[in-house]
């Protein structure tokens, strides 16, 4: 139930979706003669579009998430393996096209493949079923298997967890699948903005991991707070991404699945 409620909440809290709803309400208010209400809603849409779409709003929200955990050092000792969270492939398009397609977070896949080559003895564990409420007949793991194989990663090194639908299940199902032993070092690979929530959930699940954030969208400096976005859709996508993470952090904390509201190093 928590999974579906959180999906619905994230959908309606996304600024881009709020703008669509506000525009619809403004037109409805105008139709029934409530001109002041209509103007107020339309001004809200304009302000959102300027600040979060063309302005730095999305970067302002996203930058603290991406800066929370440092990158994996270049001289990091060889780990036992890497755990790669789903979200980097588009299983629906891949199935429809009969191919293996990356999503906007596809750097999770390419970066983990690069790490696999840097540490040739480390295992690769991909965790991801289908996080979609509809259209989830094919798991992300199936597509990820094809991508890793095409990149030359040996199948003997790879393990796939295909049942999880969210980050909490990623942590719990992966822990139960690989049963980490004392002394083993597992590195978690996911998007930098997603790392705080992921680390909090893995810690709560009793699975200690080392963060390796990838897939950055901001510079992580003061310039993020004044830099305009290249295009409105890009700025709004960044804003939606950040809002989703903050809601996720709050929801998982309230549900007891994370011991910290904003997990850090």
For 184-206, how does the pLDDT look when each residue is reduced to its tens digit (9 = 90+)?
Answer: 999 999 999 999 999 999 999 99
User: How far, CA to CA in Å, does 10 sit from each of 214, 230, 247?
Assistant: 23, 25, 7
pLDDT value, residue 49: 82
Is it the case that residue 132 has pLDDT exceeding 60?
A: no
pLDDT value, residue 258: 94
Rounded Cα distance, 78 and 60, in Å: 35
pLDDT value, residue 81: 98
Is it the case that residue 136 has pLDDT exceeding 60?
A: no
Tens of pLDDT, residue by residue over 40-82, are 988 888 888 888 887 788 888 999 999 999 999 999 999 999 9
Neighbours of 172 (CB within 10 A): 20
pLDDT value, residue 16: 77
- pLDDT band of residue 131 (cuts 50, 70, 90) is low
Rounded Cα distance, 59 and 66, in Å: 10
% of the chain at pLDDT higher than 70: 88
Is it the case that residue 175 has pLDDT exceeding 90?
A: yes
Average pLDDT over residues 125-154: 81
The per-residue pLDDT of the chain, averaged, comes to 88
What residues contact 168, with CB distance under 8 A and at least 6 apart?
201, 205, 252, 257
What residues contact 260, with CB distance under 8 A and at least 6 apart?
200, 253
% of the chain at pLDDT higher than 90: 56
> Which residue matches tokens 């890793």?
148
Q: What is the pTM of this model?
A: 0.87
Tens of pLDDT, residue by residue over 212-248, are 999 999 988 776 676 666 656 677 888 889 998 998 9
Is it the case that residue 139 has pLDDT exceeding 90?
A: no
Average pLDDT over residues 114-137: 82
Burial label, 221 (beta-carbon count in 10 A; 0-12, 13-18, 19+): exposed
Buried b or exposed e, range 26-40, using 16+ CB within 10 angstroms: beebeeeeeeeebee
Which of 97-101, 107-111, 117-121 has the least mean pLDDT? Answer: 97-101
Neighbours of 210 (CB within 10 A): 17
Average pLDDT over residues 142-159: 93
Rounded Cα distance, 138 and 117, in Å: 28
Average pLDDT over residues 95-116: 92
What residues contact 211, with CB distance under 8 A and at least 6 apart?
69, 70, 72, 187, 188, 195, 198, 199, 265
pLDDT value, residue 77: 97
pLDDT value, residue 231: 58
Average pLDDT over residues 162-175: 94
Average pLDDT over residues 8-35: 80
| Backbone phi and psi for residue 153, each to the nearest 5 degrees, phi listed first | -80, 130
> Which residue matches tokens 């080392």?
210
Sign of CA dihedral 166, 176, 192, 121: negative
């Amino acid at each position: 139930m928590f999974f579906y409620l959180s999906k619905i909440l994230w959908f309606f809290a996304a600024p881009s979706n709020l703008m669509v709803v506000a525009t619809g309400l403004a037109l409805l208010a105008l139709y029934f003669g409530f001109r002041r209400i209509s103007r107020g809603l339309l001004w809200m849409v304009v302000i959102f579009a300027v600040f979060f779409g063309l302005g730095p709003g999305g970067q302002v929200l996203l930058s603290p998430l991406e800066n929370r955990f440092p990158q994996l050092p270049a001289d990091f000792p060889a780990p036992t393996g890497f755990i790669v969270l789903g979200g980097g492939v588009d299983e629906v398009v891949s199935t429809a096209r009969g191919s293996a397609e990356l999503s906007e977070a596809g750097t999770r896949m390419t970066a983990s493949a690069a790490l696999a080559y840097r540490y040739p003895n480390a295992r690769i564990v991909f965790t991801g079923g289908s996080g979609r409420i509809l259209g989830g007949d094919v798991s992300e793991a199936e597509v990820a298997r094809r991508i890793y194989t095409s990149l030359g990663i040996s199948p003997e090194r790879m393990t796939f967890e295909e049942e999880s639908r969210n980050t909490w299940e990623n942590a719990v199902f992966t822990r139960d699948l690989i049963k980490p032993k004392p002394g083993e070092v597992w590195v978690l690979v996911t998007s930098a903005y997603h790392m705080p929530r992921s680390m909090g959930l893995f810690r709560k699940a009793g699975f200690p991991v080392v963060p390796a954030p990838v897939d950055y969208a901001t510079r992580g400096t003061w310039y993020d707070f004044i830099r305009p976005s290249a295009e409105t859709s890009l700025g709004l996508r960044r804003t939606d991404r950040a809002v989703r993470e903050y809601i996720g952090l709050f929801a998982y904390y309230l549900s007891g699945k994370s011991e910290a509201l904003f997990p850090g190093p």
